[in-house]
Copies of this chain bind each other. A is one copy, B any other.
Amino acid sequence: MTETLRPGSTIGILGGGQLGRMLAVAASRLGLRTHIFDPIEGAPAGDVAHVVTTAGYDDESALSAFARSVDVVTYEFENIPTEALDAIEAIRPIRPGREALRVSQDRLTEKDYLSGLGLRTAPYAAVDDTASLKEALDRIGTPAILKTRRFGYDGKGQARIGSPADTDSALAAMNGAPAILEGHVAFDREVSVIAARSLGGAVACYDPGENVHEGGILRTTTVPARLNTAQRTDAALLAGRILNALDYVGVVGVELFVTAQGLVVNEIAPRVHNSGHWTQNGCTVDQFEQHIRAIAGWPLGDGQRYADVEMQNLIGDDADRALDLAQEPRAALHLYGKAEARPGRKMGHVNRILG
């Protein structure tokens, strides 16, 4: 038994960045309204939402009013304070559910969870101080990466340890936050699989995309990824295993390392994902609509890939080239409406139909 949100219903979205913006647009295609909650005035998603609440995640009365005004709540980022989630969940369902957030908010919990499902991850160990870091390095070796367990994104909160000499500076970079040491994985390429699970338990996977990162930030995703049939099947099965284990509802992004020994899970994101933006121009139903369908209790849509696509992020002053990109044949431009182009800031992306 699943309820289905009818046209005119409202979806609450925590976070008003570009992901929230594209979720709001997808919701509109299904006749649904959106209400954006974001602490910062002028969030990009506010341009295309029916209602915007500008308030902090510690503002319990704003959170309650927000929850009461919507039919279901979703989010564009995983680092939402637990108290805020509690306040909302007392009033409306949150999808994807709390277990997905609990697992993905903490890199250590996530790795334990994935290992528990029988999936391969990089070698890892919890690090709280110099002693535990030395112990971890003895076991895992170098090169390795020390990461804060929580609140990292786009390469932030990370320090590379090339040799034992880097130990102290790496630990200092954590600013006393609980950390995790991750060993090096010798990978051929990085891919990600964007998958969805409906309220009724149906699972659908998009064709995996091949990712290129620069400076910790995703630069391009290309479909099809260079994978053999077995790897392609493994990626889908693995995503399905995670979705079912979490009794997940919505879209998930699973980043994978492709190695000679098989697929290694790098991390999971319980939301639409930058590496799934290509679906906007390669599929009839994109990842944003698929997510809205899932959390709204709708059937999942046709996620088949009908074109080869390269998605390129427009970062910082890349966006200055917007007018040139707008004239490129077979290129679909997506800008996020951010006024200020700071270095490293994602300003938009372009999907190029290949071939």
Contact = CB atoms under 8 A, between A and B. Distances in A.
Interface of A: 4, 7-8, 21, 24-25, 28-34, 46-50, 281, 284-285, 293, 298-299, 301-302, 304, 306-307, 319, 322-323, 326-339, 348, 353
A41 to B, nearest CB: 13
Contact of A50 (B33, B46, B326, B329): B46
A241 to B, nearest CB: 24
The 9 closest A-B pairs by CB, nearest first: A31-B335, A31-B337, A48-B48, A299-B327, A8-B339, A302-B329, A47-B50, A28-B48, A284-B332
Given A50-B46, A353-B284, A353-B306, A30 B299 contact: no
Given A28-B47, A48-B24, A331 B348 contact: no
29 contacts: A7-B339, A8-B337, A21-B28, A24-B48, A25-B28, A28-B47, A28-B48, A28-B337, A29-B335, A30-B326, A31-B337, A31-B338, A33-B47, A34-B47, A284-B329, A284-B330, A284-B331, A285-B332, A298-B323, A298-B326, A299-B323, A299-B326, A301-B326, A301-B327, A301-B333, A302-B328, A302-B329, A306-B307, A306-B353
A331 B302 contact: yes
Most chain B beta carbons < 10 A, residue from A32, A48, A335:
A48
A293 B339 CA distance: 18
Contacts of A29: 25, 333-335
Contacts of A327: 299, 301
A100 B4 CA distance: 44
A273 to B, nearest CB: 19
Copies of this chain, whole number: 2
Contacts of A25: 25, 28-29, 48
B337 A7 contact: yes
Given A25-B25, A48-B24, A293 B31 contact: no
A2 B93 CA distance: 50
Nearest to A31: B335
A333 B31 CA distance: 10
A54 to B, nearest CB: 14
A274 B8 CA distance: 22
Nearest to A21: B28
A217 B117 CA distance: 56
